[in-house]
A and B are shown apart, each in its own frame.
Chain A
Amino acid sequence: MKPLNLIALLFFLGGAVWALTRSERSVREIQAAYYSAMSPFLKSGSKIETHARKFLEETRHSKELEIELEETREQLGRLRLIESRFRTIEDENKQFRHALDFKKATHFDVVAASVIRRNPTTWWQTVEIDAGSNRGIGTQLSVLSNEGLVGKIDRIDNGGERSSVLLLTDEKCQVAARVEGSPEVGILNGQRGGLGGDPMLRLRFLSANASVRPGQRVFTTGRGGVFQPNILLGTIESVEKGALDSEAFVRPAVNFANLGAVFVVLSAES
Chain B
Amino acid sequence: MIRYSAITIFLLLAAFVIQQFLPAFTGLHDSRILLVQLVFLCCAVTVGPPTMLILAFIGGFFWDAQCALGPHGGDSEVYTQQVESMRFGYSILLFGGMGFLMQGLQPLFKQGKWQFSALLSGIAVFFYLAAEYAIINFVRGDLVLTRSTVLQMAYTAILAMLISPAVFWLLFFVAKNCNHSINPEAGRRTRRRSAY
- Most A-side CB within 10 Å, residue of B20, B85, B148: B20
Q: Is A118 an interface residue (CB 8 A)?
A: yes
Among residues 14 to 47 in chain A, which have CB atoms less than 8 Å away from a CB atom of chain B? 15-16, 18-22, 24, 27-28, 30-31, 33-34, 38, 41-42, 45
Out of A9, A176, A197, which one reaches B79, CB within 8 Å? A176
Q: Is B122 an interface residue (CB 8 A)?
A: no
Q: Is B87 an interface residue (CB 8 A)?
A: yes
Size class of B's contact patch?
Answer: 35 or more
- Most A-side CB within 10 Å, residue of B22, B64, B69: B69
Contacts of B146 on A, CB cut-off 8 Å? 193
Total number of A-B contacts with CB less than 8 angstroms? Answer: 156
Contacts of B149 on A, CB cut-off 8 Å? 193, 195
B29 contacts A195, C-beta separation under 8 Å: yes
A30 contacts B65, C-beta separation under 8 Å: yes
**B65-86 interface code vs A (CB 8 A; 1 in, 0 out):** 1111111111100110111010
B65 contacts A224, C-beta separation under 8 Å: no
Q: Is A126 an interface residue (CB 8 A)?
A: yes
Closest chain A residue, CB of each to CB of B133 = A123
Contacts of A154 on B, CB cut-off 8 Å? 69-70
Task: Tell me, in angstroms, the Cα distance from A45 to B19 when the chains sit together.
Answer: 11
Task: Tell me, in angstroms, the Cα distance from A20 to B137 when the chains sit together.
Answer: 19
Contacts of B62 on A, CB cut-off 8 Å? 34
B70 contacts A139, C-beta separation under 8 Å: yes
Closest chain B residue, CB of each to CB of A120 = B19
How many chain A residues touch B (CB < 8 A): the figure is: 58
A15 contacts B34, C-beta separation under 8 Å: no
Task: Tell me, in angstroms, the Cα distance from A42 to B21 when the chains sit together.
Answer: 8
B67 contacts A193, C-beta separation under 8 Å: no
Q: Is A122 an interface residue (CB 8 A)?
A: yes
Among residues 109 to 133 in chain B, which have CB atoms less than 8 Å away from a CB atom of chain A? 129, 132-133
- Most A-side CB within 10 Å, residue of B61, B65, B85, B93: B65
**B160-181 interface code vs A (CB 8 A; 1 in, 0 out):** 0000000000000000000000
Partner-binding segment picked from B3-11, B38-46, B49-57, B183-191: B49-57
B20 contacts A45, C-beta separation under 8 Å: yes
A193 contacts B145, C-beta separation under 8 Å: yes
Main secondary structure of the interface of A (DSSP, over half): mixed
Contacts of A173 on B, CB cut-off 8 Å? 72
B57 contacts A16, C-beta separation under 8 Å: yes
Task: Tell me, in angstroms, the Cα distance from A38 to B82 when the chains sit together.
Answer: 31
Among residues 107 to 143 in chain A, which have CB atoms less than 8 Å away from a CB atom of chain B? 117-124, 126, 139-140
Contacts of B93 on A, CB cut-off 8 Å? 16
Task: Tell me, in angstroms, the Cα distance from A27 to B90 when the chains sit together.
Answer: 13
Q: Is A247 an interface residue (CB 8 A)?
A: no
Given contacts A16-B93, A225-B75, A257-B26, whether A122 and B32 have CB atoms under 8 Å apart is yes
Q: Is A246 an interface residue (CB 8 A)?
A: no
**A145-186 interface code vs B (CB 8 A; 1 in, 0 out):** 000000000110000000000100011111010000000000
Residues in chain A within 8 A of chain B (CB atoms): 4-5, 7-9, 11-12, 15-16, 18-22, 24, 27-28, 30-31, 33-34, 38, 41-42, 45, 117-124, 126, 139-140, 154-155, 166, 170-174, 176, 187, 189, 191-193, 195-197, 223-226, 257
What are 9 inter-chain pairs, A to B, with CB distance below 8 A?
Answer: A5-B49, A5-B50, A20-B87, A33-B65, A34-B65, A120-B20, A193-B144, A224-B74, A226-B73
4 tightest A-B CB contacts, nearest first: A19-B89, A8-B50, A224-B78, A193-B149
